[in-house]
């Protein structure tokens, strides 16, 4: 059945169509499911080859579990990423692709028959909880771009469940947002090796060192969570998933579709249920966490899910992963990418706009301030970082990640890669059509203005910030009027 027809059909009949038999389980033997989600972090754990720091607790999960080293986010910014994960659907399929959308007077309901993953767990008898940190001292981050039940979660911690009741628990870690994390051996800026697409500058080094300190802090928190599970006698009957919601918040990371923004850690740990020490290289979308969790809980998978189970008879490796970026706060953008084999293809739908077009969130960061200063002083001339400011951008970008892991040499105009470019372009165009990518239709001005009103209200503590955002909104509308 065509996915668009299915999503419009809705009804109880649609919900009963199954992808296959879930593993037979008894209520008392159903495993607990734990998601550990860290914010704003790329692949900089020591099990992934980072040498500046050591992350023994995350490394333990990797050593005792299964590592998916080809995992990518479907959107490199918080709310669309989380909207996709919690539904097992691409954010572009369910209309949740614009960051922090539908927070104003205009609301958005999920298209039938799509529902959230916690609802399935609740109906299966699980205690469903979402905690703000490793100690679960408050409600965890949701940040969904759609309306959802107020009682979606039973609590903030699994200790509220009934005796013998299995639980589905999310631990939301601040991750890379916690740049003031106190760690025992903080990283010195002098020890930092920056990616070659950033200038070697003291401000950039300091920021990267603070980021690595936040990685160390996440590792500590993961250790606390695992120690608690063991102390509570949960170790033998719990599956733990560790991911990040997208990459580091840097100039080519968060919000953008290069490796720094989309490539994430993805580990599954479960003694006795999955093999230990296995590294799998197939492509994985972060939304596959949803179907995999349902599978292990013995909850049937409905056919509409775009998420795929990574284990069991219905596991189907992905040949490629598509990622998408749309509006982030006040900044209108549309970028799509395809990762297949050794190549990354990126399509910029607004090439007339610079990579670092006005965005108050990014422009408030010292690293972006410094990059703009260096560019204004002419000190980025000839450096890869200069491309962040040059217009027009290429409409298409193609990178061979095996030969060029930093994605510095655009092969889109290279005749030797014409066939690869055409193949990946066709994959993207087919995906856009078959999934009915909602980014094809521009957001209404009314919806944009409603979201911006709420956004500005939340920033009233800083009038300077508000004025910057208002200026950016005016720039976005001017570009739209010019057809850019």
Question: Residue 415 and residue 166: Cα distance in Å, rounded?
Answer: 57
pLDDT at 28: 46
> Dihedrals φ, ψ of 391, to 5°?
-125, 150
pLDDT at 462: 86
pLDDT at 463: 87
Q: SS3 string of 367-386?
A: HHHHHHHHHHCCCCCCCHHH
Question: Residue 404 and residue 399: Cα distance in Å, rounded?
Answer: 7
Query: Any idea which residue has 């936040």 for tokens?
Result: 214
What is the residue extent of each domain of the chain? 3-318
pLDDT at 117: 98
pLDDT at 449: 96
Segment-wise mean pLDDT, segments of 10 residues, the chain, 484 residues: 41 37 54 98 98 98 98 98 98 98 94 97 98 94 96 97 96 94 94 97 97 98 97 94 98 98 98 94 98 97 97 96 98 98 98 97 96 98 97 98 98 98 98 98 95 91 90 95 90
User: What is the sign of the dihedral through the CA atoms of 409, 209, 277 and 126?
Assistant: negative
Q: For residue 66, what are its two tokens?
A: 């299964």
Bridge-based pairing state of the strands 127-131 and 167-173: parallel
Q: For residue 332, what are its two tokens?
A: 């209108």
Q: For residue 19, what are its two tokens?
A: 């992808």
Is the previous residue joined to 143 through a cis bond, with omega within 30 degrees of 0?
A: no
Question: Residue 355 and residue 216: Cα distance in Å, rounded?
Answer: 30
Tell me the helix, strand and coil percentages in the chain, rounded to 5: 35, 15, 50
* Superfamily holding 3-318: Alkaline Phosphatase, subunit A (3.40.720.10)
Q: Which helix (H) or strand (E) holds 221?
A: helix 202-231
The alpha carbon of 315 is separated from its chain's Cα centroid by a whole number of angstroms, namely 21
pLDDT at 459: 86
């Amino acid at each position: 059945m065509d996915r668009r027809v299915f999503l419009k059909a809705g009804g109880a009949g649609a919900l009963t169509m199954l992808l296959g038999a879930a593993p037979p389980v008894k209520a008392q033997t159903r495993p607990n499911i734990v998601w550990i989600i860290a914010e704003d972090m790329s692949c900089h754990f020591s099990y992934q080859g980072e040498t500046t720091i050591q992350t023994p607790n995350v490394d333990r999960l990797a050593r005792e579990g299964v590592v998916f080293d080809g995992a990518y986010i479907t959107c490199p910014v918080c709310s669309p990423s989380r909207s996709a994960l919690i539904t097992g659907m691409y954010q572009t399929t369910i209309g949740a692709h614009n960051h922090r959308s539908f927070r104003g007077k205009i609301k958005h309901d999920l298209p039938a028959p799509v529902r959230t993953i916690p609802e399935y767990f609740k109906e299966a008898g699980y205690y469903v909880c979402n905690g703000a940190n490793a100690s679960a001292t408050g409600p965890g981050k949701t940040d969904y771009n759609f309306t959802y039940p107020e009682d979606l979660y039973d609590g903030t911690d699994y200790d509220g469940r009934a005796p013998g009741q299995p639980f589905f628990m999310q631990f939301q870690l601040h991750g890379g947002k916690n740049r003031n994390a106190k760690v025992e051996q903080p990283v010195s800026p002098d020890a930092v090796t920056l990616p070659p697409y950033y200038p070697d500058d003291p401000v950039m080094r300091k920021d990267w060192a603070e980021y690595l300190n936040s990685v160390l802090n996440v590792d500590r928190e993961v250790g606390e969570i695992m120690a608690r599970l063991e102390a509570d006698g949960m170790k033998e009957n719990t599956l733990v998933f560790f991911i990040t919601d997208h990459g580091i918040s840097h100039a080519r990371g968060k919000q953008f579709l290069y490796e720094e923004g989309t490539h994430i850690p993805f580990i599954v740990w479960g003694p006795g249920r999955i093999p230990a020490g296995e590294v799998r290289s197939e492509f994985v979308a972060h939304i596959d966490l949803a179907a995999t969790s349902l599978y292990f809980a013995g909850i049937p998978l409905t056919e509409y899910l775009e998420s795929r189970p990574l284990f069991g008879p219905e596991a189907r490796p992905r040949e490629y992963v598509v990622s998408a970026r749309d509006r982030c706060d006040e900044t209108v953008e549309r970028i799509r990418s395809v990762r297949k084999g050794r190549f990354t293809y990126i399509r910029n739908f607004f090439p007339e706009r610079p990579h670092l077009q006005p965005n108050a969130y990014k422009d408030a960061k010292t690293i972006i301030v410094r990059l703009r200063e260096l560019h204004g002083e002419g000190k980025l001339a000839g450096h890869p970082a200069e491309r962040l400011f040059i217009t027009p951008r290429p409409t298409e970008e193609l990178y061979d990640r095996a030969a060029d892991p930093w994605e510095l040499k655009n092969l889109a105009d290279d005749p030797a890669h014409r066939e690869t470019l055409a193949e990946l372009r066709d994959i993207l165009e087919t995906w856009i059509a078959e999934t009915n990518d909602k980014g094809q239709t521009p957001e209404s001005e009314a919806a944009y203005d409603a979201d911006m009103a709420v956004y500005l209200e939340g920033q009233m503590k800083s009038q300077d910030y508000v004025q910057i955002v208002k200026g950016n909104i005016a720039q976005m509308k001017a570009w739209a009027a010019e057809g850019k």
